[in-house]
Amino acid sequence: MARGLNKVILIGSLGRDPELRYTPNGKPVTSFSLATTRSWVTSNGERKDATEWFNVVAWGGLAEICSKRLRKGSRVYIEGHLQTRAWDDAEGHRHYRTEVVANEMIILDDRKGPPLREAREGEMTEEAEEDEIPF
């Protein structure tokens, strides 16, 4: 039996261009912010919207794909888990940051050229052209 579950699924738009960096060991890591908006109607019939912002981090091959294919405003599906990091600044103050660590990404934008259908950490999958479909 599982001891717990930590899974996040988000659909939203990037708030800034992804930032690609490399660890001292050379592993790529990309970070970006993602906005999700939910809407509802109040009991008075008034429509309300609320936007929530998430910090997203992708590692390895997925980090490189995100860096190359995503831009501010891109609409994406992200699947991953929550992770909270803690660190002390130069003045000794403790800081915390909760992030979504992505392990799957699907670009939802309409684009020219072959669309990137789905990417998982460490791989890239291109959609087949119609004449390449074997049936």
- pLDDT score for 2: 79
- The total number of structural domains in the chain stands at 1
Q: What is the pLDDT of residue 110?
A: 75
Check: CB of residue 31 under 8 Å from CB of residue 56: yes
Task: Kindly report each contact of residues 42-51 with a partner whose C-beta sits within 8 Å and lies 24 or more positions away, as own/partner.
Answer: none
Q: Domain with 69 in it: what CATH number?
A: 2.40.50.140
Q: Return the residue matching tokens 């050379």.
A: 26
> Residue 20 and residue 125: Cα distance in Å, rounded?
20
- Tens digits of per-residue pLDDT, 49-91? 999 999 999 999 999 999 999 999 999 999 999 999 999 999 9
User: If you search the block for the tokens 């992804």, which residue do you land on?
Assistant: 18
What does the mean pLDDT of the chain come to?
Answer: 86
Average pLDDT over residues 100-128: 65
Question: pTM higher than 0.95, yes or no?
Answer: no
> Structural domain of residue 91, as residue ranges?
8-40+49-125
pLDDT at 37: 95
**Cα torsion angle, 77, 19, 72, 51, sign:** positive
